[in-house]
Structure 1
Amino acid sequence: MLVPGAQLLRRTLGRIPPARSLMDLREIVSALNNFAPLSLAESWDNVGLLVEPSPPHAVSTLLLTNDLTEEVMEEAVQKRAELILSYHPPVFAPLKRVTWGSWKERLVVRALEHRIAIYSPHTAYDAIPQGVNNWLAKGLGPCTSVPLHPSSAPSCPAEGTHRVEFSAGNTKGLDSLISKIKDIQGISCLTTLPARVEGEEQTRVSLSCSQKALLEIVELLSQNNYKTEILLLQKPPLPHTGMGRLCTLHEAVSLSHIIQSTKNHLKLPHIRLALGVGKTLESPVKKVALCAGSGSSVLKGMEADLYLTGEMSHHDVLDAAAKGISVILCEHSNTERGFLSELRDVLTSHLQDKVNIIVSEKDRDPLQVV
């Protein structure tokens, strides 16, 4: 039997979270890259580890934020975070200097002074199946979704970008030609097989090569008058992976219903709406094309009843409305920030609960309705 004081101690100890071990920064970065391969990010993006304190760097607290502002950096310092995962890369355009003169440079200065690493996944998180766009789609209700722009399997330089095939009826000089081809950098998977072409016994040569090597191979083969076939090697699309989503609702609902469910999902009192020509708030919505953040380039030309995104250019909104497509705009980061709570739970499991993952309380959209 426990005395009252012991009972209180037992209840108090029961609320103490389990002790977490430290993780080396490079181990965490490897796990984060495994969770969302950086190869899925757009080519223009700046993703991955952006600021790295001198190694070794142990991490016990990871702070998640949508935008790394100076207010969020101060929060990270106060909460003793050793790593910040900022969805938007705080360093995007190259820095020519790191001084106290601009707020983005000050972020780097403070991060290094306090030994805080900065990692940004950005569009890699847009593409993955468990990423930002799939979270945004959850506000629509029961639906099936496919990427608007599917991601392809990552290229392996050794596999090449083109396949070249040609046949030789006379093997005289063929060995010398193949030897010259093999000396070209960027050649892989070269094979020779006997073949019958138009009733004649020939040797069929097949190889894979890079774009740069292709030019040298074509020049060699043209000098010897070989009839050549060139195929562009295309990578298969990755399932459920890519930019944007086309969501087909299980049952059509009114536009007003989608507006309310979107507000509820994003916890917003207001959104911006452009009605498509001939549409009303009671018009049925069956297909929704969506893109978290800035959706103009991703949504452009897509057939749907509704576009849902954070922001679009004025003229793209006009184009969509003229085609009878309604547009809902929620401001850029409002379509992304709510994902962080879900990400915290997913990463806690992915990192095997080895670090304390917290969501910033200071991170907010810079625009407000007043």
Structure 2
Amino acid sequence: MKVKEVITTLEELAPLAYAEDFDNVGLLVGDANTKVSGVLVTLDTLGNVVDEAITNNCNLIVSFHPIIFGGLKRLTGATYVERVVIKAIKNDIAIYSMHTALDNNKYGVNAKICEILGLKNTKILIPQKGTIKKLVTYVPRAEAALLKDRLFEAGAGSIGNYSDCSFTNKGIGSYKANEQARPVKGVVSEVHHEKETQLHITYPKAVERQVIAALFEHHPYEEVAYEISTLENRNQDIGMGMIGELEKPMDELESLEYIKKKMKASCIRHSKLRNSPVKKIAVLGGSGAFAIAAAKASGADIFITADIKYHQFYEAEGKLIIADIGHYETEQFTKNLLVDYLTKKIPNFAIRLSESKTNPIKYL
């Protein structure tokens, strides 16, 4: 198995098309055509993680956080980032990062937090915009069904729990081929009228390349007439954070103790208690201050996240409890999620869960 084959498997779970624009995801170090000896899964790629990969003969590190985030202008070993990259290159170890591509996945980071907390009726907290595309094309009626099937096979036509979704209109198309054309129907220099089907079909932007390739491969016309638009519809399967419900309501202090225990947090920094039971919980792994307003609007009783600043706690405004349990603590189970996924997808391959400690924050 080559690095690129493992990457393909990972991107079936979390397509890079759904990563945030500011992020740096994908293959950061190494050659995609390298044969893989073993895979080490980690939250962060640090020097001790690379050492662990070397010891265990793993030449591919799958990391949640990207070791290279901003641009690297030199590799002199002056910073921990440069030293990690140099060590990985010297030992022919590839590094692949998923980060916000997995954050935005409904089976990703936040789904794992919900699973750990036992939350039910979960849904995306902030659906990502611009992830649903629509293709409109015009095809001779006799060939419409075949083209539609090929587009479905390429990943188009899925809406929530439904597949093979499309809409068609019947009409008459017209065109005149010039002397350089090789028309499939009609003759050169004469206006031709063809009974056509107008096909409307939506698709997730992550499969756009495959959908367009299928359109051009299976459309019968020499020149394919088509339109692509980005829809404003909310995509309930892609986005940041999640919200769910506890099996039974809890007292506020009881719920905070429950969260602390389940998430293995050393402490919880939280806003003022409201003296009301806790049922709905919103979660967002990592730095989630930007989602406070969305958590309030969702009707959550508690919002679990990390990296909340002093003045941001005021934004709770008595409408919910903001609970900062720590950045590492919100994301620590992500590597378990990835190991479980890869082990199921590649059962006869060496997939290792990193034992290296990478949390940079210590508590007294």
TM-score normalised by length of structure 1: 0.68
DSSP 3-state at the match of 1:146: strand
Query: Could you tell me the percent identity over the aligned residues?
Result: 31
Partner Cα distance (1:240, 1:140) in 2:
20
User: In the alignment, is the contact (CA less than 8 A) between 1:66 and 1:363 conserved in 2?
Assistant: no
Aligned to 2:203: none
DSSP 3-state at the match of 1:84: strand
* 1:316 aligns to 2:312 (yes or no): yes
Cα 1:108/1:331, change in 2 over 3 Å:
same
Partner Cα distance (1:365, 1:159) in 2:
49
Deviates more, 1:64-73 or 1:246-255: 246-255
Q: Give the residue type in structure 2 aligned to 1:312.
A: I
Choose from 27, 34, 37 the match for 1:49: 27
User: In the alignment, is the contact (CA less than 8 A) between 2:134 and 2:229 conserved in 1?
Assistant: no
DSSP 3-state at the match of 1:73: helix
Partner Cα distance (2:258, 2:345) in 1:
30
Choose from 93, 99, 102 the match for 1:116: 93
Aligned to 1:104: 81
Q: Give the residue type in structure 1 aligned to 2:79.
A: S
Aligned to 2:60: 83
DSSP 3-state at the match of 2:231: coil
Partner Cα distance (1:342, 1:140) in 2:
15
Q: Deviations over 1:90-147 (max 9, x none)?
A: 0010111122222111111111110100000001111222211011112333421111
User: In the alignment, is the contact (CA less than 8 A) between 1:63 and 1:83 conserved in 2?
Assistant: yes
* 1:28 aligns to 2:28 (yes or no): no
User: In the alignment, is the contact (CA less than 8 A) between 1:144 and 1:250 conserved in 2?
Assistant: no
Higher Cα Rg, which structure: 1
DSSP 3-state at the match of 2:295: coil
Aligned to 1:234: 231
Q: Give the residue type in structure 2 aligned to 1:266.
A: M
Q: Give the residue type in structure 2 aligned to 1:32.
A: L
* 1:68 aligns to 2:45 (yes or no): yes
Choose from 250, 264, 269 the match for 1:267: 264
* 1:139 aligns to 2:135 (yes or no): no
Q: CA deviation at 1:348?
A: 0.7
Q: CA deviation at 1:308?
A: 0.5
Aligned to 1:201: none
DSSP 3-state at the match of 1:302: helix
Partner Cα distance (2:337, 2:295) in 1:
28
DSSP 3-state at the match of 1:300: helix
DSSP 3-state at the match of 2:286: strand
Partner Cα distance (1:93, 1:154) in 2:
25
Cα 1:233/1:342, change in 2 over 3 Å:
closer
Partner Cα distance (1:137, 1:250) in 2:
12
> Which residues of structure 1 form unaligned runs of 5+?
1-22, 161-174, 180-191, 194-206, 208-230
Deviates more, 1:71-80 or 1:328-337: 71-80
User: In the alignment, is the contact (CA less than 8 A) between 1:132 and 1:336 conserved in 2?
Assistant: yes
Q: Deviations over 1:39-93 (max 9, x none)?
A: 111111111111114x641113111111111222222222221101110000010
Partner Cα distance (1:125, 1:301) in 2:
20
Q: CA deviation at 1:159?
A: 6.9
Partner Cα distance (1:68, 1:89) in 2:
7
Cα 1:147/1:157, change in 2 over 3 Å:
closer
Root mean square deviation, CA, Å: 3.2
Deviates more, 1:146-155 or 1:64-73: 146-155
Cα 1:106/1:70, change in 2 over 3 Å:
same
Q: CA deviation at 1:268?
A: 2.7
TM-score normalised by length of structure 2: 0.69
* 1:289 aligns to 2:282 (yes or no): yes
* 1:151 aligns to 2:144 (yes or no): no
Q: CA deviation at 1:155?
A: 6.0
Q: CA deviation at 1:301?
A: 4.3
> Which residues of structure 2 form unaligned runs of 5+?
138-174, 179-192, 195-199, 201-227
The 5 A counterparts of 1:305-344 are: 305-320=301-316, 322-344=317-339
Partner Cα distance (2:319, 2:293) in 1:
14
Partner Cα distance (1:332, 1:71) in 2:
20
Partner Cα distance (2:84, 2:230) in 1:
43
Cα 1:292/1:145, change in 2 over 3 Å:
same
